């Protein structure tokens, strides 16, 4: 299934609600999962792409900034704040997971707020929106699967954030430049986290025409400093999660993204 870029249409809201909390395990057959869908949408209205679980997203879509996130309902028994983890268990390829997992994002201090007038598409239609109130602990790195690899899975998890949360023992080395050999179930166990409150995932592969400057990295994963089909410029990643969606500026992304992509995934 290939995602299409949706225009600002009221129909999208119904679609999002219908697909939320459908009782399916997200992602299927993964050691850690949830039966509640974390609502996610990339882009800025009117060019919004809703992340349906397992959807194959064009390489250009999930970059340069993280998706807007939300929920269909307040997770029972929680008050927040919440935390988000994004991971790729298929690096360098689904057939050879020797670099897996690649940690793509840890965002703490995420607040959940009711969307008083849900309408339109993406975050604008989310009943509840999630928004970060602090800088990311590990900044968002867009998917950068090596050329020739089958699509990787990119998985988002949401937890309530334990009070005074810090990276648990064995995981303190993870940061913006050190993302390989993560283990989300090990991380959750070490941090004493319960089952995730919600999850979602998409697939992404590198198109043949986006191999531009593939560089071998220490991980042996082919990185790429350029992504054909992606916006050539934009501002630094901004995860607002607000009802208006992500704010993606008009100028300058590739330097930032390139630096991240070269280290990855």
Ligand X SMILES: *[C@@H]1O[C@H](CO)[C@@H](O)[C@H](O)[C@H]1NC(C)=O
Residues that bind ligand X (CB under 6 A): 66, 92, 96, 98-99, 132-136, 140, 173, 175-178, 183, 185-186, 189, 207, 209, 220-221, 228-229, 236-239
Ramachandran assignment for 190, one of left (phi > 0), alpha (psi -120 to 50 degrees), beta (any other): alpha
CB nearer to ligand X: give 13 or 239: 239
Helix (H/G/I), strand (E/B), else coil: 112: strand
CB nearer to ligand X: give 67 or 120: 67
In the complex, minimum distance from the CB of residue 232 to ligand X, in angstroms, rounded to a whole number:
10
In the complex, minimum distance from the CB of residue 18 to ligand X, in angstroms, rounded to a whole number:
28
Buried b / exposed e along 128-157 (16+ C-beta atoms within 10 A)? bbbbbeeebbbbbbbbbbbeebebbbbbbb
Inter-residue contact 234 to 250 (CB < 8 Å): yes
In the complex, minimum distance from the CB of residue 23 to ligand X, in angstroms, rounded to a whole number:
25
Those residues with Cβ within 8 angstroms of residue 238's Cβ, 6 or more apart along the chain or in another chain: 65, 246, 247, 248, 249
Neighbours of 14 (CB within 10 A): 11
Inter-residue contact 94 to 101 (CB < 8 Å): no
CB nearer to ligand X: give 19 or 151: 151
In the complex, minimum distance from the CB of residue 237 to ligand X, in angstroms, rounded to a whole number:
4
d(CA 214, CA 94): 19
In the complex, minimum distance from the CB of residue 82 to ligand X, in angstroms, rounded to a whole number:
13
Inter-residue contact 245 to 122 (CB < 8 Å): yes
Question: Residue with the closest Cβ to ligand X?
Answer: 186
CB nearer to ligand X: give 50 or 237: 237
CB nearer to ligand X: give 20 or 110: 110
In the complex, minimum distance from the CB of residue 99 to ligand X, in angstroms, rounded to a whole number:
6
CB nearer to ligand X: give 45 or 136: 136
Those residues with Cβ within 8 angstroms of residue 108's Cβ, 6 or more apart along the chain or in another chain: 81, 83, 132, 134, 136, 137, 161, 165
CB nearer to ligand X: give 20 or 86: 86
In the complex, minimum distance from the CB of residue 50 to ligand X, in angstroms, rounded to a whole number:
19
Torsions phi, psi for 66 (to 5 deg): -65, 165
């Amino acid at each position: 299934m290939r995602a299409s870029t949706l225009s600002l249409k009221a129909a999208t809201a119904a679609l999002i609600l219908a697909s939320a909390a459908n009782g399916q395990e997200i992602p299927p057959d993964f050691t850690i999962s949830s039966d509640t869908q974390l609502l996610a949408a990339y882009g800025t209205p009117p060019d919004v792409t809703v992340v349906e679980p397992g959807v194959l997203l064009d390489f250009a879509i999930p970059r340069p900034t993280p998706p807007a996130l939300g929920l269909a309902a307040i997770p029972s028994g929680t008050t927040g704040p919440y935390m988000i983890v994004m991971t790729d268990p298929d690096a360098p390829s689904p057939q050879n997971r020797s670099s897996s997992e690649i940690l793509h994002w840890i965002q703490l201090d995420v607040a959940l707020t009711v969307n008083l007038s849900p309408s339109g598409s993406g975050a604008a239609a989310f009943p509840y929106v999630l928004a970060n109130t602090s800088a990311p602990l590990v900044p968002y790195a867009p998917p950068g699967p090596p050329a020739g690899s089958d699509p990787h899975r990119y998985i988002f998890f949401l937890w309530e954030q334990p009070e005074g949360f810090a990276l648990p023992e064995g995981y303190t080395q993870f940061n913006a430049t050190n993302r390989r050999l993560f283990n989300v179930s090990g991380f959750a166990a070490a941090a004493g986290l319960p089952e995730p409150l919600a999850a979602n995932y998409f697939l992404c592969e590198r198109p043949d025409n986006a191999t531009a400057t593939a560089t071998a990295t220490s991980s042996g994963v082919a990185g790429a400093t350029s992504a054909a089909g992606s916006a050539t410029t934009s501002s630094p990643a901004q995860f607002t999660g607000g009802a208006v969606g992500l704010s993606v500026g008009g100028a300058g992304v590739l330097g930032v993204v390139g630096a991240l992509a070269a280290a990855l995934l």
